[in-house]
Amino acid sequence: MKTYSYEPSKFLQRRLGISIRGNLDIIRILVYVIRDMLASDAGPRLTDVECDSFIVLAKDGKMSRLFIKLNTNYYYSFVFPFQILLRDGEFKIYHQDIFLNNKLLSVIIAIIESSDLTGRTILDEMILQDEITPDEEVSCLAILNLLLTVELGYVRYEKDKVRQDKDFHPLYHLDVNCTDDAKYKFGLNKPLSFQCFLDLLNDKKKRYYLSL
């Protein structure tokens, strides 16, 4: 598995700690991570599992996932639905023939924060004001459609002393999915290291078993 690892900016670190209640929250984080990656000059470096806060992009064939570690007690992962290249020390992130840039990402963020997820309200206004071209509008709609339809595969590990309950909220646990009607929890009998979390979601690694 090929990995890219870097320390997020202070601005992004604040964003990464938001409560995730639905897919739009994950999409917001994904877009902000990509914008930070495109602005980062860190390039790839070996994963340091001892860092307090960092992001790992893991790529293995068709599978790409972001792994976000906020501290030793809290990390989560979801699908990264784009292709990535490292060219001349800079990340190039794209979907089909659309390369992401700050302008496109800013429009996507504005649409996500609006009440019209079709994008029509904002895009029509931007076209009218000559702020984007018709080609850029097509690109925005393609990326928006991808983000709203992709299966995000959200998984979170947490050690939670505050809400600990032996039967319903184990101290160590995995949360799978994020919406109230789809999420469920697996209790763990011991801490899960960040490296084990990476391995857990790596299909090329030996499988873990549930003890029931």
Q: What is the pLDDT of residues 1-36, one digit of tens each?
A: 778 887 888 888 888 988 898 999 999 999 999 998
Helix and strand totals (H; E) in the chain = 6, 10
Distance CA 75, CA 92 (A): 25
pLDDT tens digits along 175-199: 999 988 899 999 999 999 998 999 9
- Whole-number mean pLDDT of the chain? 87
Q: Is 67 exposed, middle or buried (0-12, 13-18, 19+ CB in 10 A)?
A: buried
Asked if residues 64 and 57 have their Cβ atoms less than 8 Å apart, the reply is: yes
Distance CA 201, CA 196 (A): 9
Q: What is the rounded distance in angstroms from the CA atom of residue 126 to the CA atom of residue 137?
A: 9
- Chain centroid to CA 20: 11
- The rounded distance, in Å, linking the Cα atoms of 120 and 117 is 8
pLDDT of residue 51: 57
Domain boundaries, the chain: 2-154
Nearest residue to 76 via CA among 58, 55, 51, 61: 55
Of 161 and 90, more confident: 161
Which strand (E) or helix (H) includes residue 112?
A: helix 102-113
pLDDT band, residue 208 (cuts 50/70/90): confident
Which has the closest alpha carbon to 193: 30, 47, 75? Answer: 75
Band (44; pLDDT cuts 50, 70, 90) = very low
In this prediction, residue 47 has a pLDDT band, given cuts at 50, 70 and 90, of: very low
Q: Which amino acid is at 171?
A: L
Give the separation between CA 194 and CA 144, rounded to whole angstroms.
31
Does residue 42 surpass a pLDDT of 90? no
**Exposure string over 2-26, b if 16+ CB within 10 A, otherwise e:** eebbbbbeeebbeebeeebeebebb
pLDDT tens-digit series, residues 130-164: 899 999 999 999 999 999 999 999 999 999 999 99
Q: Which residues of 194-209 are buried (b: 16+ CB within 10 A; e: fewer)?
A: beebbbebeeeeeeee
Residue 40 — very low, low, confident or very high, per pLDDT cuts 50/70/90? low
